[in-house]
Amino acid sequence: MRTLMWFRADLRTLDNVALHEACLAAGGASGGGVVAVFTICPDQWLHEHDWADIKAEFILRNLRELGERLTKLRIPLKILETPRFDGVPKALLKLAKDCACDAVFFNDEYEINERLRDEAVIEAFEDAGLKTRRFTDQVVFEPGSVRTKEGKAYSVYSPFRRRWESIWHEEGMPPVRPEPQKQAETGIEPDAIPETIRGFNMDKAREDLWPAGEKHAMHRLKQFISARLDAYKDERDFPAINGTSTLSPYLTVGALSPRQCFAAAYEANGEKLDKGSRGAVHWMQELVWREFYKHVLIAFPRVCKGRSFRPEYDTMPWREDDEQFRAWCEGRTGYPIVDAGMRQLAQTGWMHNRLRMIVAMFLSKHLFLDWRLGERHFMRRLIDGDLAQNNGGWQWSASTGTDAAPYFRIYNPTTQGLRFDEDGSYICQFVPELAGLKGKAIHEPSEAGGLFEALDYPKPIVENKAGRERAIEMFKTRGKAL
Ligand SMILES: Cc1cc2nc3c(=O)[nH]c(=O)nc-3n(C[C@H](O)[C@H](O)[C@H](O)COP(=O)(O)OP(=O)(O)OC[C@H]3O[C@@H](n4cnc5c(N)ncnc54)[C@H](O)[C@@H]3O)c2cc1C
């Protein structure tokens, strides 16, 4: 049997469930061989999924690394391009036939468009008499399998996590698959990985910050585990400290699997999941947030369609204000901590989690602008843009989602800055025009009198108390109206 391995958001050879199974099914070095394929869909990615330039570029670099590793395993990597997902079934089937493959293997994706695409592929292959096999890989436990006693999906994180942990205890740590063995020669040449993707600007690359490939991802994971895991709980909220793993881009494109992350932390924590080092336990709990939001996509697909998780907030009378939205996007709100976060995003394609929460709450509460505008802006800029995590984070911040922050608990951006960046070193890294200020003035430059007049920095675009009260009033009225 010759198998076709279809790579998507799983750009690695280690611990890749579908690849592992495709190689086993093909019969190893004396079998029928494995062919790999990746499908590029520029219009879909650009216009419907709002992928960032930096993410598209990162995918290409990871593909290059993946192609080299696959070549060593005698698996040629083919590249197909169709403008949108609807062209994928036909193109994939043709490739399978051209390469004499009997079946296609792939790991599941959970977004609605991806699921529809996969169903169309399965139908096309079955109609042609070829097999399809799909696997759970992106998450530890299959979405839909973590349920309440009544068989319902969880809509709140903490009980989800407790159930998730009890499944782990019942079933044991999920296995991490080794790299497959060399496969039989197919005589098929790999394709060259393209230098660009139509519509995307490859100049946005930050190779210095985000080196590609699973080897680098593993190195980053190991470094984090050995040097920063134990202090994670204490340091994770301070953006000037390198206290988090910065692994999200690698998890998003699948250069690293969640099982590899859990396995490394679990082992470092003396094979304990929910006891032991505070840092290790907390880091694994953050990884469970990632799992939770993927499960939410399956149980509540409306969140894939631009709808609020809590339907009562679907018709919120959000304000429209292009100028304020632009100021937020460009990091010119007059709130230094907000502006630093937005400029970190623009410059690096990534933003610290504490900042993501601050800027998202500022947009949806203080400015009372539709959270979907912010969600989309993030997707268009983030190297780790992931529908489930991004939507989950935005709806949490806007109080429209699962676990939503109560609408009246609104971060004061100045207080957040003072608390999490007391000496202003993070702010001054990204808002260098404030570097001449000291102490509290960094956080409230407009209160610095003459010093402020000399700065090229805006006054706050909304007054904190007024913005906060307006948001609370809007949410309260909405609650009463329903
Ligand atoms: C408004 C908003 C938008 C977000 N958009 C995204 C996104 O598009 N892609 C994305 O991967 N994450 C997103 N997050 C979650 C979180 O901010 C990032 O995962 C985290 O900052 C990545 O940094 P790290 O890898 O150093 O995380 P670490 O703190 O080292 O955590 C390890 C991993 O756990 C997962 N994780 C951590 N925190 C969260 C969380 N709050 N929710 C879900 N998963 C989490 C991530 O996969 C992360 O890589 C968003 C959060 C908010 C509030």
- Kindly report, residue by residue over 295-326, the tens digit of the pLDDT: 999 999 999 888 999 988 888 999 999 999 99
Q: Which fold has domain 311-476?
A: DNA Cyclobutane Dipyrimidine Photolyase, subunit A; domain 3 (1.10.579)
**Annotation marks residue 286 as catalytic:** yes
Ligand 1 atom with the smallest distance to the CA of 251 is 47
Q: Give the list of residues 6+ apart from residue 18 with CB closer than 8 angstroms, or none.
A: 5, 6, 10, 105, 106, 107, 133, 134, 135, 137
Q: Could you state, in order of their start, the residue ranges of all structural domains in the chain?
A: 3-137, 139-174+214-299, 311-476
Asked whether residue 279 carries a pLDDT value surpassing 90, the answer given is yes
Burial of 84 (0-12, 13-18, 19+ CB in 10 A): middle
- The residue whose CA has the least distance to atom 35 of ligand 1 is 287
Amino acid (one-letter) located at 220: R
Does 371 participate in catalysis according to the annotation? yes
Homologous superfamily (CATH) of 3-137 is: HUPs (3.40.50.620)
pLDDT value, residue 478: 75
Give the whole-angstrom CA distance, residue 77 versus residue 22: 14
Q: Mean pLDDT lowest for which of 4-18, 39-53, 394-408? A: 394-408
pLDDT in tens, 233-260: 999 999 999 999 999 999 999 999 999 9
In percent, the amount of the chain with pLDDT more than 70 equals: 99
Per DSSP, the three-state class of 369 is: strand
The yes-or-no answer to whether 3-137 and 139-174+214-299 have a common fold is no
* C-alpha to C-alpha distance for 88 and 81, rounded to whole angstroms: 8
State the Cα–Cα distance between residues 41 and 162, nearest whole angstrom: 38
DSSP state of 34: E
- For ligand 1, atom 4, which residue shows the shortest CA distance? 390
- 8 A C-beta contact, residue 249 and residue 133: no
Separation of alpha carbons 391 and 371, rounded Å: 9
16 vs 11: CA distance, rounded Å:
8
| Domain 139-174+214-299 CATH assignment equals 1.25.40.340 | no
Nearest to 58 by CA among 218, 267, 248, 319: 248
Q: Is 45 an annotated catalytic residue?
A: no
Residue nearest to atom 16 of ligand 1 (CA): 353
